[in-house]
Amino acid sequence: MTDHVDVMTELQKNYADLTQAQKRIAEAIVDNPEFVAFATVDKLSARLGIASSTIVRFAYRLGLDGYPELQERVRVLVRSRLRGADDQGDDSSIAHLGDSTAAASLRHDLDNLRNTITELNAETLEKAIDVIAGARRVFFIGGLASGPLAEYTAHTFNRLRGGAQVLGLGDTAAEILGMTPEDALVVFSFPPYASQTLQILDAARKRGVVVVGITDSLISPLGKVDVTLTSRVSGVGPQNSLVAPLGIINVLLNGVAARSPGSADRYRQIFGLLDEWNAFFLKGNADG
């Protein structure tokens, strides 16, 4: 392993096969890397209620030479995130809102978006775009509050290229039977993770479908799908914030548009028809 991305990749690859104690260590790294980066093995042991020897064996499991090397990898991750935060500047644009709930909410959304950007890996992002742009058909699914994310992504994808469909209740079983390895499935799943979404995911994978997962953590219940993109979704209220996932969606859609030479012309033709049908108050409005 050579950098912080590899640490997270190794956690994702090994998570399902870890013992319960080892899973708690992996979750601590994902949830609070700042603590792990600078805590002694005894302090981490005390916080997690796990033997120090278990933590050392966990490091070996990842192919490292013990806890000090694991800690150094996590420090690289923390430093990378700090640099990303510093590059974003301050939140002076929110200052006029004072200490209101609105200010707290918007500041938190900015933090989610910044942290999501910092954690993105260019190679993984390109792979996700390649999968989606190259698939024969692309299916989208998101349970509960993630459902509108799937709807919006499929809606825009159809305008750019076509061949998109949202999976949900109803005829999903019939659609799954028709899936092939030439198809792709984009899955949105965030805490508390809709069980039906995961069941549909498992069924699609058995058909050989290539899966792109957008979730909150590399060790979420989404499992080891073909490509995983992570996004922060914590909120100041009881609900998840979907601002950062929407940012990732726009990156993917823009990537697909760039890989699809006819997308701009297709978009114009679609809105030409909508204009003929008087769909908009403003003629030629391409926002839909």
What residues have CB less than 8 Å from 170, skipping those under 6 apart? none
The alpha-helical segments, DSSP class H, found in 88-213 are 101-119, 122-134, 147-160, 172-177, 195-206
The alpha-helical segments, DSSP class H, found in the chain are 4-14, 20-31, 33-38, 41-48, 52-61, 67-87, 101-119, 122-134, 147-160, 172-177, 195-206, 243-259, 263-276
Q: Read off φ and ψ for residue 248, nearest 5 degrees.
A: -65, -40
| Cβ-based neighbour number of residue 131 at 10 Å | 19
Which residue from 58, 88, 50, 90 is spatially nearest to 74, judged by alpha carbons?
A: 58
**pLDDT score of 255 more than 90:** yes
Report yes or no: 231 and 238 within 8 Å, Cβ to Cβ.
Answer: no
Instruction: Tell me what pLDDT residue 159 has.
Output: 94
Supply 53's token pair.
Answer: 């020897």
Mean pLDDT of 135-141: 97
* Lowest mean pLDDT, pick from 84-88, 207-211, 282-286: 84-88
Domain 4-86 architecture: Orthogonal Bundle (1.10)
* Residue 119 DSSP SS3: helix
* Lowest mean pLDDT, pick from 86-100, 198-212, 218-232, 236-250: 86-100
Mean pLDDT of the chain: 89
Domain 122-275 architecture: 3-Layer(aba) Sandwich (3.40)
What residues have CB less than 8 Å from 87, skipping those under 6 apart? none
Which amino acid makes up residue 127?
A: K
Residue 24 confidence class, pLDDT cut points 50, 70, 90: very high
Rounded Cα distance, 98 and 79, in Å:
30
**pLDDT score of 198 more than 80:** yes
- Strand-pair category, 138-142 with 210-215: unpaired
**pLDDT score of 40 more than 70:** yes
Report yes or no: 121 and 217 within 8 Å, Cβ to Cβ.
Answer: no
Rounded Cα distance, 88 and 248, in Å:
18
Instruction: Tell me what pLDDT residue 112 has.
Output: 92
Residue 221 confidence class, pLDDT cut points 50, 70, 90: confident
**pLDDT score of 131 more than 60:** yes
Cα–Cα distances (Å) from 191 to 100, 145, 180, in that order, read 26, 10, 29
**pLDDT score of 8 more than 90:** no
Instruction: Tell me what pLDDT residue 33 has.
Output: 87
Rounded Cα distance, 95 and 75, in Å:
32
Residue 156 confidence class, pLDDT cut points 50, 70, 90: very high
Question: The whole model's pTM is what?
Answer: 0.79
